[in-house]
Amino acid sequence: MKFIAPNLALHLLGILPFLSLAALASPSSAQTRLPSNLMPQPANIKQTAGALRIDANFTVALSGHTEPRLQRASERFLTQLHRQTALLFAKTSSDAAKATLVVHTDHASKEIQELGEDESYSLEVTATGAKLNAANPLGVLRGLQTFLQLVEVTPGGFAAPAVTIEDQPRFPWRGLMIDVSRHFIPLGVLKRNLDGMEAVKMNVFHWHLSENQGFRVESKKFPKLHELGSDGLYYTQEEIHDFIIYARDRGIRVVPEFDMPGHSTAWFVGYPELASGSGPYSVERRWGIFDPAIDPTREDTYKFLDELIAEMAKLFPDNYFHIGGDEVNGKEWDANKKIQEFKKSHNLKTNEDLQAYFSQRVQKLVTKHGKAVVGWDEVFIPGVPKDIVIQSWRGQQSLAAAAQQGYHGILSNGYYLDLGWSAARHYAVDPMSGAAAGLTDDQKKLILGGESCMWSEYVDPENIDSRIWPRNAAIAERFWSPQSVTDSSSRVSGSDPALTLYSRLDVESARLEWLGLTHRSYYHKMLQRIAGPASPEEFAALRNLADVVEPVKDYTREQTAPVEPNSQLPLSRLVDAVSLESDAGRHFSELVDKFLAASCRDTATAYELRTQLALWSQNDAAFATLALKSALAQEAVLTSRDLSAIGTVGLRALDAIATGKPLATDQQSQLNSVLSEAAKPKAQLILIPAAALRKLIDAASQPNTCAPAKP
């Protein structure tokens, strides 16, 4: 038996704690890299000399203002640091004089977290220790996450580079909305998403709690809301209370949304008298915009809402209360004679006027119970009180219009996670761009930030994490970091040329997995369901295919559904399993670009391309036998054939390039027609490599594609 000499590495990882520390090399190589994986990037960072080794002796001490929440944050911090490093830290907290990381908090934050509270912090890491200072616990929470992101494995063990960071958020409202109504999402899943939000410094959880498809909160005042309107899937008030504490521990406000007067069918199952139609109503199973709407003309409606809002305003301590307000189609109003008469007698010309009347009355109730209103674009109507916050699903223009009239707004247009956009595309959306860019400085201050939105038509507890993460981390950076931080700027800001948005997302993604999110691990499980008792070769064929397809984008899935989608359909199809953004597809595209940019005689890249293409060209054989066995695999048979077809196309293009014989026009058009067919979505899946292959055919059609070999 022969043993090599990894001992130095082992020492530095704490694997030889009994040896003298003096014998250990300094992890000086950590000095040569800028901290590469901060997400969101801090407002100000300066690198200094050296690095702080992280080993089992690492300790944290709290000084200044203390409270149990800070103690819990420090324990959570050590747990996560353990997950990242596997180091076993001493349980006992230590005094400030000796601790590795000394946290100083000036004073308490507000008892109920408020919009705009100070979240700034400063963090100084040197080779001998680290200091985190913040005005209040919120800044401490943010700074602890930054510290965790600084810790990396280095040649000398785990270390945090020496840096000085002064950081504060760009926007005070940095939210994630989750729709728990179209598909019910259990609290455990929501909690791990709060953990993810904390990791990327988001501070508002917007809880979309009621919809046509479900009313998800226990109401003691009106129990038929949850008893008849939720299929038994709701949160008790006690659970909600605990959840809010959990969020507060992470510096996250919880804003509840009760969407009205539309999107409210589930309310009417138990309380049909609230509706504008004659009922009876049942919990909606389909997706879409539906007719049922609250009757805005009956005084009893406002009596009911007064009592409900009173109850919910007490349950949810946040200052803001979201009343929805979106997408009322007015059909029930039009069909109701009494409502028509009411409109006439109150001089309300349009249904928009009627909704404005309703909104104003509801806003007064919300105000009466001590809260400020948040609503979707539709609630922004002339004369609403100035403390309202407009959440724009329409875009920067409507946000700008509101700001010009002195109203606060947050942007969600561009941040809809369910549309399947790439992280880079979401990341490029800025609340201050477009119409908002032209606002005065004072008006700009009215734009409070934004929220990403996870609408839940096609997510369930199994795949929801994968639809939120890691893309949401890019959006979180957009809300926290200075506007100047962009993908292209991050590519050059450090010494490491690979420091792209995606390389940072990769690292953040791993951290989020350690936190307990399942956005990667779900994938194998869902593929196994589709594969059933597949052979290893068949399973590999399924995975090869799944790795390079994405669901159709935007609302195409809705519009092209082979059967009418609804809440009772299992989300077990390939389109539910695959990632919204194919890493393998992106890597292939980069590989093609690299091949074409370099000399075609770059044989290593050519070999890699050829291996990949050959794999695809042969992949359908095993997939086809799987599809004969599994009904869940069956719908992807044509996509699988397309993948093999484009693999063969790519090989022919490579051959043409390698031999220097350009494709003839008819060959070229034949290959292009294969690509065109493959580029058509089938089974609601997009075959990602098709686009990159077109470049390869173009290159193969040029006579002088290859630069001459350099001698």
Active-site residues, by number, are: 327
315 binds its own copies (CB under 8 A): no
187 binds its own copies (CB under 8 A): no
Query: How far is Cα 149 from Cα 137, in angstroms, rounded to an integer?
Result: 19
Residues 430-489 within binding reach of its own copies (CB under 8 A): 462
Omega of the bond prior to 261 within 30 degrees of 0, cis? Answer: yes
Q: Which helix (H) or strand (E) holds 402?
A: helix 396-404
Q: Binding its own copies by CB under 8 A: which of 154, 605, 617, 640?
A: 154
Which residues touch 256 (CB under 8 Å, ≥6 apart)? 207, 209, 217, 312, 315, 316, 318, 321, 322
500 binds its own copies (CB under 8 A): no
Point out which span in 39-47, 320-328, 486-494, 519-527 binds its own copies (CB under 8 A). Answer: 519-527
Of the pair 329, 566, the CB lying nearest its own copies is at: 566
Point out which span in 137-145, 204-212, 440-448, 528-536 binds its own copies (CB under 8 A). Answer: 528-536
- The closest of 442, 430, 441 to 396, measured between CA atoms, is 430
Map residues 581-610 to x or -, x wherever contact with its own copies holds by CB under 8 A: --x---x-----------------------
Residues 224-253 within binding reach of its own copies (CB under 8 A): 231-232
40 binds its own copies (CB under 8 A): no
CB of 25 to its own copies, least distance (A): 10
36 binds its own copies (CB under 8 A): yes
683 binds its own copies (CB under 8 A): yes
Point out which span in 153-161, 207-215, 652-660, 667-675 binds its own copies (CB under 8 A). Answer: 153-161
91 binds its own copies (CB under 8 A): yes
Distances (CA, A) of 583 to 310, 470, 654, 689: 48, 12, 23, 11
387 binds its own copies (CB under 8 A): no
Query: How far is Cα 47 from Cα 34, in angstroms, rounded to an integer?
Result: 7
Using CB under 8 A, count the residues that bind its own copies.
80
Q: Binding its own copies by CB under 8 A: which of 37, 422, 452, 466?
A: 37
Where does 400-461 show beta strands of DSSP type E? 408-411, 447-454
286 binds its own copies (CB under 8 A): no
DSSP structure class, residue 709: P
Q: Binding its own copies by CB under 8 A: which of 61, 424, 435, 638?
A: 638
Q: Binding its own copies by CB under 8 A: which of 41, 47, 80, 85?
A: 85
The backbone torsions φ and ψ at residue 123, rounded to the nearest 5 degrees and listed phi first, read: -135, 125
Query: How far is Cα 300 from Cα 313, in angstroms, rounded to an integer?
Result: 19
CB of 427 to its own copies, least distance (A): 19
24 binds its own copies (CB under 8 A): no
682 binds its own copies (CB under 8 A): yes
Of the pair 390, 548, the CB lying nearest its own copies is at: 548
Where do the H-state alpha helices sit in 535-582?
A: 536-547, 556-559, 574-577
Other Cβ atoms within 10 Å of 110 Cβ, number: 10
Point out which span in 80-88, 202-210, 216-224, 357-365 binds its own copies (CB under 8 A). Answer: 80-88
96 binds its own copies (CB under 8 A): no
Of the pair 120, 503, the CB lying nearest its own copies is at: 503
560 binds its own copies (CB under 8 A): yes
CB of 106 to its own copies, least distance (A): 32
Whether residue 384 contacts residue 360, with contact meaning beta carbons closer than 8 Å, is answered with yes
Q: Binding its own copies by CB under 8 A: which of 368, 483, 680, 702?
A: 680
CB of 473 to its own copies, least distance (A): 15
The burial of 245, by beta-carbon neighbours within 10 Å (0-12 exposed, 13-18 middle, 19 or more buried), is given as exposed
Distance of CA 228 to the CA centre of its chain: 32
Query: How far is Cα 144 from Cα 142, in angstroms, rounded to an integer?
Result: 6
Q: In this structure, which amino acid lies at residue 649? A: V
Q: In this structure, which amino acid lies at residue 89? A: F
CB of 556 to its own copies, least distance (A): 8
Point out which span in 82-90, 234-242, 307-315, 434-442 binds its own copies (CB under 8 A). Answer: 82-90
86 binds its own copies (CB under 8 A): yes
Of the pair 428, 637, the CB lying nearest its own copies is at: 637
Point out which span in 72-80, 198-206, 419-427, 634-642 binds its own copies (CB under 8 A). Answer: 634-642
Query: How far is Cα 333 from Cα 513, in angstroms, rounded to an integer?
Result: 48
Query: How far is Cα 343 from Cα 333, in angstroms, rounded to an integer?
Result: 10
- The closest of 549, 524, 535 to 640, measured between CA atoms, is 549
DSSP structure class, residue 291: S
Of the pair 30, 260, the CB lying nearest its own copies is at: 30
- The closest of 524, 396, 518 to 468, measured between CA atoms, is 518
635 binds its own copies (CB under 8 A): yes
CB of 6 to its own copies, least distance (A): 3
CB of 154 to its own copies, least distance (A): 7
Given its phi and psi angles, is residue 12 left (phi above 0), alpha (psi -120 to 50 degrees) or beta? alpha
CB of 632 to its own copies, least distance (A): 6
Q: Binding its own copies by CB under 8 A: which of 6, 385, 438, 660?
A: 6
Query: How far is Cα 325 from Cα 695, in angstroms, rounded to an integer?
Result: 47
Of the pair 56, 428, the CB lying nearest its own copies is at: 56
9 binds its own copies (CB under 8 A): yes
420 binds its own copies (CB under 8 A): no
554-583: burial string, b at 16+ Cβ within 10 Å, e else: eeebeeeeeeebebeeebbbbbbbbbbbbe
Other Cβ atoms within 10 Å of 14 Cβ, number: 20
Q: Binding its own copies by CB under 8 A: which of 44, 278, 535, 676?
A: 535
Point out which span in 139-147, 166-174, 525-533, 659-667 binds its own copies (CB under 8 A). Answer: 525-533
* Vertex 327 angle, CA 325 and 332, to 5°: 100
CB of 130 to its own copies, least distance (A): 20
CB of 511 to its own copies, least distance (A): 9
Other Cβ atoms within 10 Å of 666 Cβ, number: 8
CB of 634 to its own copies, least distance (A): 4
